[in-house]
Structure 1
Amino acid sequence: MKNEIIGQWRLEAAKRAYLLANLSDPETIDGKVSCRSCDYYLGELSWIRKRNNNYFVQQQQFIERIEIERYPTEQIIKEIQLNGKIRCGNKQCREELGGLQLFRDRPDVKEMCALKCKQLKFSYRNKDGEPQVFIFKKWTDVKFKVLDLEPINIDYTLNNQQ
């Protein structure tokens, strides 16, 4: 029992340290994400996470600002289950912004919205502190830091460090 409690504390401390290290990073930028076609506000830059080549948002506030079009049957590609398309929440626009997906190898991660960079625009302050709008074709071109999805095996990593 004592070891379980200590293990849980270590897990929580490691998660806190991971988040603090990333959130205090000077390259992490506050700003907003909008539909490139109609400028409809979708959410905050800080909500975007990445895993490998996938960039996605899980925030409930984001999901409330989009329209979800589910597939009749899900499609499975490697560890990813595709469940549908996501569209701009502006009824006059409805531009496709990405897909609704699930990481099958990460049961701790709920369904999320994978985003197409070329369908979005990003508003944040440039190096001079001036507000500016940026558009990028690919996620590899973005000039701000996107946080990684938390590692699932953080407790496994901790146990191996002892």
Structure 2
Amino acid sequence: MNPTGSYLEIDGRPALRFVREYQHPAERVFVLLTDPDELAHWFPARLEAPTWSAGATVTFSFEADGDGGTGTVLAHEPPHRVAFSWDGEELWFTLESLRDGRSRLTFTHLMDEREAASRNAAGWDVCLEALTAAIDGTPGTAPDGRSPDWEELYEGYVAAGVPSGAAIPG
């Protein structure tokens, strides 16, 4: 696997950006970004949001140890944008409708810790591959922790000069 994310800074804050194009309309992709049962196929934690209204609480949990913390819905504009915070960081998903029923997803992760960029980028690459599989009709379960693919991606990001050095769980 090759790294697909890019490191940047937004208003002085470290960030990662990923862009993917899908052969499916934005409406279909949006469901996979907001429905808890669909998110379970690709997102790294179980996500529950009683409502997607801006300001609503989002709860994250992990199978292995339960508590994943909480966040807040920052934006919900179906089918083009959804964003929420998680442990003080921000996840922004923007969808564009393209010709022929296709769509483009731009995912931006605003981080607190610059040194976490390579670690997080590798994790998001693995998760976004799982999202692609789910969109294409072959959903599995969300990636869980380190894997050979994650290791390869992490080394690729480090070699490309993306900031690294944060602790790697597992």
Using the size of structure 1 for normalisation, the TM-score is 0.30
Structure number with greater Rg is 1
Using the size of structure 2 for normalisation, the TM-score is 0.29
